[in-house]
Amino acid sequence: MKLILGIAAIILIAAGAYASVQLNQPQSINLQTSFEYPTPLPLAPFSLTDQRGNSFSNADLQGKWSLFFIGYTSCPDVCPTTMGKLTSAYAGLNQVEDVQVIFLSVDPQRDNIDTLNNYIKFFNPEFMAVTGEHKQLFPITRSLGFVYAMVGDGDDYQVDHSASFALVSPQGEKVAIIKPKSHSPGQLPQIRNSELIHDVNALIGKYSS
């Protein structure tokens, strides 16, 4: 009888420990256009400059959620479309916690502080724009999962760049990449605002619970 009671006690203790672990684990969520990393990834150390001329580094990511995307102000299509979509989605992105939207310019030759400041003000003055020399940009863009390359010669060169977003936690770690997808055959991949808002709020809710 004592042996049976002892076994029962061990089972109950193990079950309680398992339940405790499960309760403390982030719950899985159904994402519509994003890939969540199995473990949040720390970002490479970086030091950039924002549209007001202030220093912007890893420390400025602490204590708040951040949504990064890359581009350049001379971009003829993807960037202004993305800025417009984010401006439209901004209120929805802040349903659970405040999110800072960060435009990471990878064209430092043309995107000086005044250019970035005017660009951000045109779309949404609450957004941030940051840039730096290429040697400063390469580590943080790679760390965020972005790529870019200059195409063409002379002053009219273009910049090929990723069209994804990266969601960064208040601990300064990359939690997810939000990717364009095609919704029907022959359609260009895109990130729908409804899916972006759903995924960002679901991820923030998961890590904030």
The string of DSSP codes covering 93-146 is: HTSSS-EEEEEEE--TTT--HHHHHHHHHHH-TTSEEEE--HHHHHHHHHHHT-
CA distance 193 to 90: 9
Structure tokens at 50: 């924002």
Residue partners of 92: CB distance under 8 A and separation at least 6: 193, 197, 201
Residue 131 near residue 159, CB atoms below 8 Å: no
Burial class (CB in 10 A: 0-12, 13-18, 19+), 8: exposed
- With 60 as the cut, is the pLDDT of residue 93 above it? yes
- List strands edge to edge, sheet with 173-178: 34-42, 173-178, 165-168, 65-71, 99-105, 128-131, 47-50, 55-57
To the nearest whole percent, how much of the chain has pLDDT over 70?
Answer: 86
CA distance 154 to 167: 34
- With 50 as the cut, is the pLDDT of residue 112 above it? yes
Instruction: Name the residue among 78, 128, 139 with its Cα closest to residue 98.
Output: 128
Q: What are phi and psi of 144, to 5 degrees?
A: -80, -15
pTM: 0.84
At 205, which amino acid appears? Answer: G
- pLDDT tens track for 113-165: 999 999 999 999 999 999 999 999 999 999 999 999 999 888 889 999 999 99
- pLDDT tens track for 48-83: 999 999 999 999 999 999 999 999 999 999 999 999
To the nearest whole percent, how much of the chain has pLDDT over 90?
Answer: 76
- With 90 as the cut, is the pLDDT of residue 7 above it? no
